[in-house]
Structure 1
Amino acid sequence: MTSTLDEQLHEFLSAQLGSVPKIVDLTRVGVGRSRENWVFDLVDPATGDREPLILRRDPEGGLVDTDRGTEFAVLRALEPSGLPAPQARWLDSEGQWLGKPSLIMRREPGDCDYRVVNGDRPLAERTRLARRFCELLAEVHSVDWRSTGLGAVFEDPGEQAALAELERWDTVLRQDQLEALPEVDLALAWLREHAPASARTVLVHADFKPGNILLQGDRVSALLDWELAHLGDPLEDLGWVVQPLRHREHLIEGAWEREDLVRHYRETTGLDVDETALEWWVVFSTFKTVVMQVSGLRAFLDGRSDEPYRPTGRVLRTLLTAIAERS
C-alpha cells in the first residue's frame, strides 16, 4: 500500500531528528505554477514550541523544470548574507522519502500579493513599496557570491552570460516545442546577433516579482522562489522587471515609471546601467516567458499538469514588437 504524504513526512523527519516528530496542520496551499507547497508545524514534544515549515515538492510538470538540490544549496549559502531568504532545513533530493524531490524550509510570516504595486493601497504607499522592491533587487546583486560559496554551486559565465542564458532557454524550447513558432525563431536570431557582453557577474534571482515577496504591512519579510537563481548579468533581473509583460507588477503609471526604477537602481547600487544591453535583456525576458508557456503546454498535454499554458497571440505580438522597436 502506498503511504500518504503525512506518513512519508513522519518517516523522513524521524530519520533527520533521531526521534518521532509531532507534525500538525499539514495542508497544501495554493496551486502554484511550479512546486507543490505544503505547510505544517513541527512541534517540540518537550516544550510545545512550534516551528512553522513549508515543504516544497516537485510536481509532475509545470512551466519549468528545476532542481531542489540546487535551490537548497542556494538557500543555505544565503543564510549569512542578510537577505530575507527562507532558512533551508532538510532536503530529500531524489524523493527517496517523500516520493518526489523535495525540500523543507522555514515558513516565514507575511502575505503575498502579485498586484500590490497597482493594488488598493494609497499611491504614496505603493510607490514606497516599489522603491523598496528595487532596493531589494539591488541587495540580491550585491551579495558576495564568492565568499558565500555560490561559486561552488554555479558556474561563472563571465562576459558570456547573455549567450549562456539564451542557449539554456533555447534548449528548453527545443525539448518542449510542439509546433512551429516562426516568431520565436526570429527572436532567437535577433538575440544571438545582438547579445551583449556582461560587465560583471552577480547572483541573479531570475524570477524577481511581488508574487515572490512576502510582506508584513509595508515590510519585506521574505524573498521566495530561488529555484531559477544562477550567476549572471544583473541586467537580466532588471530586464525581467521592466519587460512589457510585467509592467503592472513593478511599475506605476505616472508615479513610478521604468526610468524611475532604473535611476533608483543606479543610485542604490552605484553601478551604471548600459541601456542598449538592458534593451537586449528586455527582449530576452519576453522570449523566456514564451518558452515557459511552451513548457507549460507540453506538461499539460503529457498529463503532468492541470494548467494548459500556451503562448498567446498577445505574448507573441509583444515579443515581435520588442524586437521591432529595438531594430
Structure 2
Amino acid sequence: MSTTTETNELARRVRERLADRHQSLGELHPLPGGHSGLTYSITAGPASYVVKAVPPGQRPVGRNDVLRQARILRALADSPVPVPGVVAVDESEPAWFAMEFVDGEAIEPVLDEHRLDPELCRSRMLALPDVLRDLHGWTKTEAVEPLDPAGELERWSRTMRAVPSELRPGAEDVLQALAARIPDSIPPTLVHGDFRLGNVLCRGDRPAAVIDWEIWGYGDPRIDLAWFLLFADHRNFPRVGRAVPGLPGEEELLTAYLDGRPEPPAFDWFRALARTKMAAIMGHNLRRHREGKHHDPDQERLPPTIAAMIRAAGDILAPRS
C-alpha cells in the first residue's frame, strides 16, 4: 500500500469517528517536527485537531505507542496540568487518536532559533516549576512498574555505549561513577520524561498545554526536575546554545519548584545523570546521521556539547575537597 493510500485510509477512519461532532472535515496535513508515530492536523469548520497514528506496518510500542499517550492525556484531563483534550481513540490497527489543537508556541529559548523578547522567555520559564510540581503531585492510577534511579541509569548507559567511543570521551568513567553511587529511591510520581519549555505550548507568558508524552511513566521526580534545569543555561550547550539575557538559572528555578521544601536528597547525582542522558541522546543522533540513517548535517555541531556534558557530569560527581 502506498503512502498516499495509507494516508487516505487514515483520513477516512478519522472522518468517520469525528462525523458525530462535525458535518464537514478537511484533509489530513502532516505536521513536521515529530519524532514518534505519524502526526497530522485536520480542520473541522472553526475547530482543529491533531491526529497521532502508528506508522503502517510498525508495532505500537515505545514512542509509537500512541494509545499509551492517549491514556495519560485522558487521565490528566481534570488535573491542574494543562494538556490537550482527547476527542477520539481508535484501537484497530494501525491505531490512532485525535486531540484538540492547542494554539501556542513551544520554543526552547537556549536551543531554538527565535526572536522572542528575553523577558517573555523568562516569564515562560518561571511559570513551569508550578506545572512540574502539579505533574509530580499526580496520584498513580494504573499499574506501571516505577522506574527507579538504577533503571534510568541502565537505560541511558545502553544508549551511551551504543555511541562510538570517539564521540563520547570520558563517558565510561562517568557511567562507572554514577553506578557506584546510585541513590535510594523516593516515592514515585508521574514523570513526563522530557519536561522542558520546548515541550510546553505557551500563549503569551502562560503554559497552555504540556505536549510530547511519548516517554511518560511513573518514577523518581528528580529525573524530570534535573532534566528541566539543564535547559536554563546556554553554556551547557557549546556551539549550539544561545544566550538569553535574564533567563532564570538552575538555582532560581529549583527554588521556585521546591516552594519552601528542602532540596531533594542526592540531587547532584540526578544533575549528573541529566547531562549523561543529553550526551547519550546527542551521540545517538550524530551516529545515526553519520551512518546515513537520518541525514541531518546540523548534527555535526554536537561533538563539543557532547564532550562538555560528559565533563560537567564528571565534575558534579567528583569528590569535594
TM range (shorter): 0.7 to 0.9
1:51 pairs with 2:47: yes
1:266 pairs with 2:258: yes
Query: How many pairs were matched up?
Result: 301
Q: Which runs of 5+ in 1 are unaligned?
A: 44-48
Q: CA deviation at 1:170?
A: 2.5
- Counterpart CA distance in 1 for 2:122 and 2:212 is 24
* Offset from partner CA, 1:205-228 (integer Å, 9 cap, x none): 121111111112222211111111
1:80 aligned counterpart, secondary structure: coil
1:281 aligned to which of 266, 270, 287: 270
Q: CA deviation at 1:325?
A: 3.8
1:215 pairs with 2:209: no
Name the structure 2 match of 1:306. 295
- Counterpart CA distance in 1 for 2:15 and 2:27 is 17
Query: Which amino acid in 1 is paired with 2:71?
Result: A
Q: CA deviation at 1:190?
A: 1.0
Q: For residues 204 and 263 of structure 1, do their structure 2 counterparts lie closer, same or farther at Cα, with a shift above 3 Å needed?
A: same
* Residue correspondence of structure 1 range 242-257 to structure 2 within 5 A: 242-243=229-230, 247-248=233-234, 256-257=248-249
- Counterpart CA distance in 2 for 1:298 and 1:193 is 28
1:4 aligned counterpart, secondary structure: helix
- Counterpart CA distance in 2 for 1:53 and 1:290 is 35
- Counterpart CA distance in 1 for 2:67 and 2:295 is 25
Q: For residues 271 and 226 of structure 1, do their structure 2 counterparts lie closer, same or farther at Cα, with a shift above 3 Å needed?
A: farther
Query: Which amino acid in 1 is paired with 2:126?
Result: R
1:115 aligned to which of 88, 102, 109: 109
* Residue correspondence of structure 1 range 229-248 to structure 2 within 5 A: 229-243=216-230, 247-248=233-234
Q: For residues 284 and 54 of structure 1, do their structure 2 counterparts lie closer, same or farther at Cα, with a shift above 3 Å needed?
A: same
Name the structure 2 match of 1:295. 284
Q: CA deviation at 1:173?
A: 4.1
Alignment TM-score, normalising by the size of structure 1: 0.77
Query: Which amino acid in 1 is paired with 2:263?
Result: V
Q: For residues 258 and 116 of structure 1, do their structure 2 counterparts lie closer, same or farther at Cα, with a shift above 3 Å needed?
A: closer
Q: Which runs of 5+ in 2 are unaligned?
A: 235-240
2:307 aligned to which of 316, 321, 327: 316
1:53 aligned counterpart, secondary structure: strand
2:51 aligned counterpart, secondary structure: strand
Alignment TM-score, normalising by the size of structure 2: 0.78
Name the structure 2 match of 1:165. 152
- Counterpart CA distance in 1 for 2:130 and 2:213 is 18
Q: Percent identity?
A: 24
Name the structure 1 match of 2:71. 73
- Counterpart CA distance in 2 for 1:304 and 1:72 is 29
Query: Which amino acid in 1 is paired with 2:279?
Result: V
Query: Which amino acid in 1 is paired with 2:82?
Result: P
Contact residue 68 and residue 93 of structure 1 kept, 8 A? no
